[in-house]
Amino acid sequence: MKRLLAILLFAFALALSAAAFAIDPLPFKDNAQRDRFQHLTSELRCMVCQDESLLASNADFAKQLRRQIFDMMQRGKSDKEIKDWLVERYSTFILYDPPLAPSTIALWFGTPVILLAGGVVVAVLLRRRTRPASAIAEDTGDDW
């Protein structure tokens, strides 16, 4: 049993490392730059894959854009400049974090508004439920 567990763990670790090294090696200047790169590409959508980030995807498209983003970072471009550059070409769909725009108002405020509306409905229902109860209590009080 223990042995089986060890084998399973080993297989799992192997699978994890395979996933980690599926990404093409890029010559980063330092760890900070690599972290920045990984954070940035994790926030960008691989346009050709279903629900995968540019960081995670092994698609040719993602590899090429990773290379492009890496090059732009070497040229001293900021995250915002890189994102703007991508949005110019691929629209805001490439951003996982959608910007606040007329087309995304429902997305940003829809949930709080529905939550608020639900809260109002609950409050109204509760009030209605307690009012007749107190009326009944008064009635019975009179009878007693």
Partner 1 sequence: MNEVARKPVGRFVPVIVFAALVAFFVIGLVWNQTHDARFVPSPLIDKPAPEFRLPRLEQPTQFVTKTDMLGKPYLLNVFASWCFACGDEHPVLMAYRDKFGIPLVGYDYKDAPQDARAWLDRHGNPYHEVITDQSGETAINFGVYGAPETYLIDAKGIIRYKHIGPLTPDVIAKELEPKIRALDQEGST
Q: Which residues bind partner 1 (CB under 8 A)?
A: 47-48, 60-61, 64-65, 68, 87-91, 93, 121, 125, 128, 132
Q: Is the Cβ of residue 30 or residue 97 nearer to partner 1 in the bound state?
A: 97
Provide the minimum distance between the beta carbon of 126 and partner 1 in the complex, in angstroms, as a whole number: 13
Calpha distance 59→132 (Å, rounded): 64
Provide the minimum distance between the beta carbon of 129 and partner 1 in the complex, in angstroms, as a whole number: 8
Calpha distance 73→125 (Å, rounded): 56
Per the CB < 8 A criterion, the answer to whether 45 and 94 are in contact is yes
Q: Is the Cβ of residue 105 or residue 135 nearer to partner 1 in the bound state?
A: 135
Provide the minimum distance between the beta carbon of 12 and partner 1 in the complex, in angstroms, as a whole number: 32
Provide the minimum distance between the beta carbon of 127 and partner 1 in the complex, in angstroms, as a whole number: 12
Q: Is the Cβ of residue 37 or residue 46 nearer to partner 1 in the bound state?
A: 46
Distances (CA, A) of 70 to 74, 101, 122: 6, 28, 52
Provide the minimum distance between the beta carbon of 40 and partner 1 in the complex, in angstroms, as a whole number: 16
CA-wise closest residue to 66 among 97, 98, 43: 43
Q: Is the Cβ of residue 76 or residue 132 nearer to partner 1 in the bound state?
A: 132
| Residues facing residue 53 across a β-bridge | 45
Q: Is the Cβ of residue 39 or residue 128 nearer to partner 1 in the bound state?
A: 128
Q: Which helix (H) or strand (E) holds 141?
A: helix 105-143
Calpha distance 3→74 (Å, rounded): 47
